[in-house]
Amino acid sequence: MHSNTIKIFSAVMALTMFTACKTVQNANKTQKGAVIGASGGAVLGGVIGNNVGKGNTALGAIIGAVVGGAAGGYIGNRMDRQAERIESEIPGAEVTRVGEGINVTFTEDAGVYFDTNKSSVKGTSATTLDKLAGIFKEYPHSYILVEGHTDSAGPEDYNMSLSKQRAESVTRYLVGQGISNGRFTTKWYGEGQPVGDNTTTEGKAKNRRVELAIVADEELKQEAKEKAGQ
């Protein structure tokens, strides 16, 4: 495990309780990419940009959004139920509950994948995202970070562009299913944040992925604080 990952997990443990639905697999490098989105995206983008140094990705966004205390427990309970729904409805998703948020990973073999050198959402991927959109409608008070990643095959600039196209494609698809654009932040990292060994076929498949971070929006945070008397 990379040193940045270890630091992130240490921060999670210090801030709030960690409950894993499945094993977390994250390797963080220098942040790359850009941000799109409206009000929600701006808030979440700021959280990512100011949290846990340069190794910021989905976990960094979740850690930075922590409320803590009894209010954090209230949010965590909501996230528990949402994570269970995602695992139940989308068996291929790798779902991890971290603190007060949810990290969801789709690899090319699990739920959301793309044809070689393509970025269009279709077939099984569309079915997966339809189910995910339905869950987001059931749990409307969240901000959602969508990240695109590739393996190291091909030129670095091409991979950066491809990860951008794929991440934006996922965001556009979810918005097209009726989820507010203001809930999304979209980022892309190309080949810069591998979670597998790019010298192996299996490792490359793991690196070709879309990750999501789901955290409480301001309305849910305020509700949680009122319920907890904070």
Sign of the CA dihedral 218, 63, 36, 171? negative
Buried b (16+ CB within 10 A) or exposed e, 3-33: ebbeebbebbeebbeeeebeebbbbbeebeb
Architecture of domain 3-228: 2-Layer Sandwich (3.30)
Whole-angstrom distance, CA of residue 17 vs CA of residue 48: 20
**Per-residue confidence in pLDDT tens, the chain, 230 aa:** 444 443 443 444 333 333 333 333 332 322 233 333 333 444 444 444 444 333 447 888 888 888 899 999 999 999 999 999 999 999 889 999 999 999 999 887 667 766 556 666 767 788 899 999 999 999 999 999 999 999 998 999 999 999 998 899 999 999 999 999 999 999 999 999 998 999 998 898 888 889 999 999 999 999 999 988 86
Long-range contacts of 41-48 (CB under 8 A, 24+ apart): 41/143, 41/181, 41/182, 41/183, 41/184, 41/185, 41/186, 43/143, 43/217, 43/218, 44/143, 44/144, 44/145, 44/185, 44/213, 44/215, 45/185, 47/215, 48/145, 48/185, 48/187
Look at residue 62 in the predicted model and tell me its pLDDT: 87
Domain ranges of the chain: 3-228
Look at residue 177 in the predicted model and tell me its pLDDT: 95
Whole-angstrom distance, CA of residue 165 vs CA of residue 87: 26
Look at residue 115 in the predicted model and tell me its pLDDT: 58
Look at residue 33 in the predicted model and tell me its pLDDT: 34
Look at residue 158 in the predicted model and tell me its pLDDT: 93
